[in-house]
Chain A
């Protein structure tokens, strides 16, 4: 029996362009943040999110009606969207910020996503949002939870396995928690945040990279979503941790004891 249209799912995957994890970051000279003039790529957890959406499509075929990638960021963020499209997303949305704009904070990002989802109502809505559990640049790890809160949806965070039951309109998600795993059943619509073990993202194939160039990218301005991205957190100063000083070698036990005393350690 062919599924009825109402069962078709729309997946939204918010992604972020971040300093690549392989880059050795350096504090900028004005101590307001890190030097951003370095290699950027898609936040690794978001890559896992895109991969998961594409795998769900591969499993559930045409029951997944659309996979849309969504990003907020400077003009170059469109490259991140192209990667998502090359991996298998169908279309993308770019909420464009000026080049020099400060990085948006989780709350405003969550509000923007909510606002965008609201606008999608007329086009069949969004059933599942899959996003990274955190972004490796600010490590805040709050966006998914805030979004679920704002929407009043169920949430399954730190997912290491996602199984959809389209008939029942729910999902069984395995979460990574301290000391083990936890399985949760979540009603759709829902928010999933990805953990490292969920999957291993694929390479973008050349034909898909070519196709991605022709896929639509919708451009929006912050005003279109009615969200103000001005930070509400003030950064006072960013500095590097103190350099580690190497240890020294001692020749004898006596010398060791001497050294320990010198540094204020005494026998009890």
Chain B
């Protein structure tokens, strides 16, 4: 959310006035240093049709739209370095783009920046099946890396719904959490090294493939979650995990949200090392997933009276052992004097296993089919998930915006284990009124929780002080900003502008 705040604070007009657009001669230069398939530009001498650029200029949700004339798809770190150095000298801003699945508009241009797509850098550089260390180009798609290490009985330490499109470089740049964070920790732990092209074109080689490296500063950490503001990640060294030999999952139906946290405690204690996911889906999110065909629904009997659902996954080394543990847990849950769950279902085979996961992973897609989504990926303690959703819904209702022609649904789902809630507002269409009702409301709401609960953070992991200051800054700046129209109605400006800032500053 830091990024959104910044976007709101920087007047794009002021910012871009000090920078240059791509010119014909720049394109001619890029065509000289790159192979023909690496330059897509509507400018001469390439003169591609704007249609060819549209997938790069539009984001996954169709919410953000850039006006870039030029997409560059370098094939090597050296090419990236040359492009960046050129842009640095010519004061041309750059947007690094991975799989363009980032959901917060960070991967598409605000204006007409050069889009630097990593899509052509998609080779695995090395894999050591003994240590599990994988070194790959930043443009490798997460799913293809998963497939690459699978025959060696390893899995990527990260998994998320966008796996078929998102790139490892994008994952690192957004410090993506996802479905395995509970088990394998955050990318701050599993990323062992990075190769980065800095704003002036310098190649920073921090691509160590050592598990333990205590030599000096740990610079790579700066780039994890930097959203391309500090440089272009071109290579990633990451620790993959031994593939579990057995996996099971269940979906539990809970009578009340208040049971989520107590349930998490019981599940964690009883399953201990085999617990690999504990995912929360509220009833609205569940209904939408079912409505849009994301996985087979539970029977009516099973969902009756359920306020929310929890998906529990186990992964372990021996099936019999895991099943025994899981069965014991389920028995405890069902036989309890005051049961935390109404009922639940357990996958009986891999097809059902995928189908249960689809009910959770498919929510994002279901939402995009249902309408236009305002998405907030926020970090608050799990106990507050429902409160955040309810307060937001009430707020929209009080503004008269909760009806079929405006906001259709307010829902939440997410990772209980990581305190990561996906707050989604599903609207009929994007509108300035809804936008204005949500922002800065949601930021302030999270900010309030931030001051109330020391553990909570907003998504982009600024510390609490910075965060609240930024939030204040934002309101101060924006409230007196006359040329709000110059900002996109969204008001989101990603900190990647900082890349431009850095580039033009030094």
Chain A residues near B (Cβ < 8 Å): 20-23, 39, 41-42, 44, 47, 83, 86-87, 200, 202-207, 209-210
Contacts and interface: CB of A to CB of B under 8 A. Distances in A.
Given A202-B299, A203-B356, A41 B334 contact: no
B351 A209 contact: no
Interface in B296-311: 296, 298-299, 302
B347 interface: yes
A202 B302 CA distance: 11
A21 B351 contact: yes
B348 A207 contact: no
Nearest to B297: A203
B204 interface: no
State the main secondary structure of chain A at its contact with B: mixed
Closest 6 CB pairs of A and B: A203-B345, A41-B349, A22-B350, A206-B344, A83-B348, A206-B330
B348 A20 contact: no
B490 interface: no
A86 B348 contact: yes
Contacts of A23: 350
B330 A210 contact: yes
Query: Which residue of B346, B354, B356 has the most chain A CB atoms within 10 A of its CB atom?
Result: B346
Contacts of A207: 334, 343
B352 interface: yes
A42 B348 contact: yes
Interface in B241-261: 250-252
Interface of B: 250-252, 296, 298-299, 302, 327, 330-331, 333-334, 341, 343-352, 354-356
B264 to A, nearest CB: 18
A40 B333 CA distance: 28
A19 to B, nearest CB: 11
Contacts of B348: 41-42, 47, 83, 86-87, 203-204
A203 B347 contact: yes
Nearest to B347: A203
Query: Which residue of A42, A47, A86, A203 has the most chain B CB atoms within 10 A of its CB atom?
Result: A203
Nearest to A39: B350
Contacts of A203: 251, 296, 298-299, 302, 345-348, 352, 355-356
B312 to A, nearest CB: 11
A206 B299 contact: no
B345 A205 contact: yes
Contacts of B334: 206-207, 210
A158 B302 CA distance: 31
A209 B330 contact: yes
Nearest to A21: B351
Nearest to A213: B327
Contact of B346 (A39, A200, A209): A209
Nearest to A41: B349
7 contacts: A20-B349, A22-B349, A22-B351, A200-B296, A203-B251, A203-B348, A210-B331
Contact of A206 (B343, B349, B351, B355): B343
